[in-house]
Structure 1
Amino acid sequence: MPSDPPFRRRDFRLLLLGQTTSQLGAQVSAVAIPLLAVVTLQASPMQLGLVTASGTVAFALIGLPAGAWIDRCRRRPVLVAADLARAVLLATIPLSALLGTPTLAQLVLVSLLTGVARVFFDVGYQSYLPSVVGRAELLAGNSAMETVRAGGQLVGPGLGGWATTLLGAANVVLIQAVTFAVSAVSLLAIRTREPAAPSRTDGVRLGTQIRDGLAFVGRTRLLRALLLTSAACNFSFAMASAVSFIFMVRTIGLPPTVIGIVLALGSVTVMIGAALTPRLARRFGSARIIWLSLAVTGPVTLLGPLAGPGWGAGLLVVGTAAGELGQIVYAVTSVSLRQHLCPGHLLGRVNATMRCFMMGLFPLGALLGGMLGEVAGPRATLWAAGAIIVLSPLPVHVALRGVRDVEDVPPWRADRG
């Protein structure tokens, strides 16, 4: 495939269009569905937690077999099917509201099934992107996609709250259903031919393929390092999320409007970081920036626990912005390295293995953060989470010592040591 910048390619623009609409719709409905549960269905905190948890539990339950199954077939049909399934499932919510029959059980079931579709889409998408942009443009392609994701996080919640007030929560969910349908149409319009699934998977048991993916990650030194660093980052985020709102409201005394501004500023930082990642990679090295992004911004995040009432809250803004910047640069560059290292016939399983272990740490981190918050308080919990972030780049730094660019690491031969 020619080495043109991704934006010059029609197929990449179509993929970006689908992701733009679906990410915006997802962020809008992330406000609408909880409001529907709380305001219309009078959900208790436990019931709302069940609705929320049902949307992510699929990663732990089917993440590994989903990756193996995706490696048996072309990825684009899987992505289209996942988009269409989510569109149909979400459309049942406004339909039931129109008929006057929405229930919490329906919200849980829809969240669970759309979560299953999300697993297949997320794993398949990261495996499909190299077919569209080529391995030489993975960094630019991932950067563009993360910029889109950050844009949805910036605009979506506010738009969702406004639209819910104007149209009603159930009708806003219909917007997300439409965006998934648009994403499916965009994928169908892509002309790039995807390589056929390798014939050697014929007759191979699914369990054997899952073990192959686990084994490849286990014996690949760089992938092991990426998994350790990513898991530490996610674990730290989960710990902090258990107490961050309590810290902002009760310890610092921030009103909801200011909290929204803090979160919005973090999303702005994500957009800037995603857009600047290719330039930073050229300046410092596409491999070196992976660990350097966390090593530089990690200590700055420790300003967050120092925040206090009044102007002292500015420390939280700076710490949060620095953390978001480091995380997005790390996310774009580390995924690009993973896609560079892994052979195409294993990419789905490797992506699934990485996401399964990283996502699986979220509930454990949140539980530990909640327990530590009860015993030591929110500020101490944020200190502990910050310490993990500071130490998190060490595995990747050791594995990439002396390596400047991703291209300096031979793909598919990185499993030495």
Structure 2
Amino acid sequence: MPAARSLWRHRDFMLLWGGQSVSMAGTELSALALPFVAMTVLSASPLQVSMLSAIGYLPHLIASLPVGAWLERRRRRALMVWCNLCQAVVLGSVPLSAAAGVLSFTQLCVVAAAATLLAVVFDTAYQSYLPTLLHGDRLVEGHGKLGVSMSFATVVGQGGAGVLITVIGAARAVAVDALSYLVGAVSLMLIRTPEPPPPPRPVGSRLRTDMAEGLRYVVGDPLMRPVVIANAFVSAAIGGVWALWIVYVHRELGWTAAETGVCMAVSAAGGIAGGLLVRRLAERLGLPRLMLLAVTGYALDLVPTLVAGPGTGGYLLVTVGHCLAIALQMLYITANRSFRQFICPPGLMSRMNATSRWLALGCKPLFALLFGLLATWLDLWTALAAGVLLFSVPTAVMIASPLRSLREVPVHPGHVLRS
């Protein structure tokens, strides 16, 4: 790729990318550390671990729509800085309370909810902010590099989490996540690219009508609708099985925290490969076809876990299978985000992202509880098997949509396409 077009020389993108890579690594650390805090420090049951997961998802259901409409009226970078600073404070309370001997399951639930509420604001602003820095084919490349960051974050965060939990304990490991948010905040403060002011709202515009307009667009657009519905089913299945997967490999397959972290870290190499290949594959296949191919990675992800047994052979089977599935999932995530941003009118970008996240992530609390009850009434294996079936639905949704015959992206004319 010519140097003039390389994002490696884009100072502000590199600041955004580097700072958020550190922050995402901390987030992935807590994704493993918080359930282990519940299990090892507070002796939580599988249902309680699912409840913790559900409470952590609840702010997406409550806050995503109003946050999206509110962000259309605000500059995003300053809000992102404040969110990172507040997340550092909230998560820092866990190791402090544990050290004082006053940590409770209730506090852990409050921390999960508060951190997620701040993440709702940050992530909605973050997805809408990237087109401020990048345009055209650079946007796809930028999403690919951010996808690499997500996988790198899993390598460092969850791999490091297993080691940190073993060495210093799960509660103290959360402190590293708190520090990572401070790094993210500083990197955002150093960006120089001026952010344009938000577009003026129509006279008489209200938050409620803005929310409704965003929802009507997402549900009514024939190309946006199947993508968002597929995302909703993906998120529902993730919400249902993620916490239970950790419990299953810990209690049924006998994995330690370190072994779980190493599995996740090694598997994330697939995500790094997917993020690096996405631009080339998008140019060859087109974003719509790439999404159709890559969404199958979710249904394939849990199969190795279901057939594996305890021991080295089962551990390797799960890790290799997860690595291949993560590669496909990263291709899907990157193509999906780029596709949605290309076809969305610029004036609806924050509301589109917020509505998509509301439909996708808002269902996670319900499915986390449903799968927790299923694991309690039946067993963990059956609950994970049900997750495989739920993960198959997004593929069917996208095959039944106009995306199956679409080769090129119908870019909205309001976007500036330049290198």
Question: If the TM-score is normalised by the length of the shorter chain, which range does it land in?
Answer: 0.7 to 0.9
Q: Matched residues in 1 for 2:306 and 2:279: separation?
A: 31
RMSD: 3.4
Deviation of 1:373 (Å): 4.9
Match of 1:329 in 2: 331
- Are the equivalent residues in 2 in contact too, given 1:232–1:389 (CA < 8 A)? yes
Name which of structure 1's ranges 44-53 and 270-279 shifts more when overlaid on structure 2. 44-53
* Aligned match of 1:189: 190
Equivalent residue number for residue 359 of structure 1: 361
Q: 1:34 to 1:231 in 2, by over 3 A?
A: closer
8 Å CA contact 2:152, 2:272 repeated in 1: yes
Q: Residue 403 of structure 1 corresponds to which residue in structure 2?
A: 406
Partner of 1:229: 230
Alignment of 1:25 with 2:26, yes or no, is yes
1:125 shift after superposition: 0.3
> In 1, Cα distance between the equivalents of 2:61 and 2:182?
26
Alignment partner for residue 392 of structure 1, among 383, 391, 394?
A: 394
Q: Where does 1:39-188 land on structure 2 (aligned, <5 Å)?
A: 42=42, 44-45=44-45, 51-94=52-95, 102-164=103-165, 166=167, 171-188=172-189
* Superposed CA offset, 1:215-242 (max 9, x none): 1101111111101211222233344446
Q: Which blocks of at least 5 consecutive residues in structure 2 are unaligned?
A: 415-419
What is the match of residue 417 of structure 2?
Answer: none
Cα distance in 2 for partners of 1:362, 1:388 equals: 13
Which residue type is aligned with residue 284 of structure 1? L
Distance 1:145 1:278 in 2: 12
Counterparts of 1:360 and 1:271 in 2: how far apart (Å)?
Answer: 27
Cα distance in 2 for residues equivalent to 1:116 and 1:296: 29
Q: For 2:388 and 2:162, how far apart are their aligned partners in 1?
A: 31
Say if 1:28 and 1:283 are closer, same or farther in 2 by CA, change over 3 A: same
Alpha-carbon distance change, 412 to 369 in structure 1, aligned in 2, over 3 angstroms: farther
Mean Cα displacement is larger for which, 285-294 or 12-21?
285-294
**2:282 is aligned with 1:285:** no
Unaligned runs of 5+ in 1: none
Aligned to 1:338: 340
Deviation at 1:303, TM superposition (A): 5.6
The number of equivalent residue pairs is 409
1:327 partner SS: helix
In structure 2, the partner of 1:320 is 322
Distance of 2:326 and 2:226 partners within structure 1: 21
* Aligned residue among 341, 347, 350 for 1:348: 350
CA contact (8 A) 1:249 1:255 kept: yes
TM-aligned CA distance change 1:115 to 1:255, over 3 Å: closer
**1:208–1:307 Cα change, 3 Å:** same
**Aligned mates of 2:286, 2:300 — CA distance in 1:** 21
Q: CA deviation at 1:213?
A: 0.6
Moved more, 375-384 or 317-326: 375-384
* One-letter code aligned to 2:330: I
2:271–2:327: 8 Å Cα contact kept in structure 1?
Answer: yes
Distance of 1:102 and 1:28 partners within structure 2: 19
Residue type matched to 1:131 in 2? T
2:201 match: 200
Q: Percent identical across equivalent pairs?
A: 32
Q: 1:298·1:322 contact (CA, 8 Å) conserved in 2? A: no
In 1, Cα distance between the equivalents of 2:388 and 2:121?
32
Deviation at 1:356, TM superposition (A): 1.1
- CA pair 372-89 structure 1, distance change in 2 beyond 3 A: closer
Which residue identity does 1:222 align to in structure 2? L
Distance 2:246 2:52 in 1: 20
Inter-partner Cα distance in structure 2 for 1:99 and 1:390: 46
8 A Cα contact 2:54 2:366, kept in partner: no
CA change 1:372–1:171 in 2 (3 A) is: closer
In 2 relative to 1, CA 300–367 (structure 1 residues): closer, same or farther, beyond 3 Å? closer
Distance 1:396 1:261, change over 3 A: same
Cα deviation, residue 102, structure 1: 4.8
Is 1:263 the counterpart of 2:264 in the alignment?
A: yes
Shift of 1:65: 0.3
> For the Cα contact (< 8 Å) 1:3–1:137, is it kept in 2?
no
- Whether the aligned pair in 2 keeps the contact of 1:291 and 1:394 (CA below 8 Å) is no
CA distances 1:30-80 after superposition (whole Å, capped 9, x unpaired):
44445555555x354366655544432211111110111011111111111
Q: In the aligned structure 1, how far is the partner of 2:378 from the partner of 2:39?
A: 31
SS in 1 for 2:362: helix
Residue 153 of structure 1 deviates from its aligned partner by 1.3
* Residues 296/373 of structure 1: CA separation in 2 closer, same or farther (3 Å cut): closer
Pair 1:25–1:250, CA change in 2 (3 A): closer
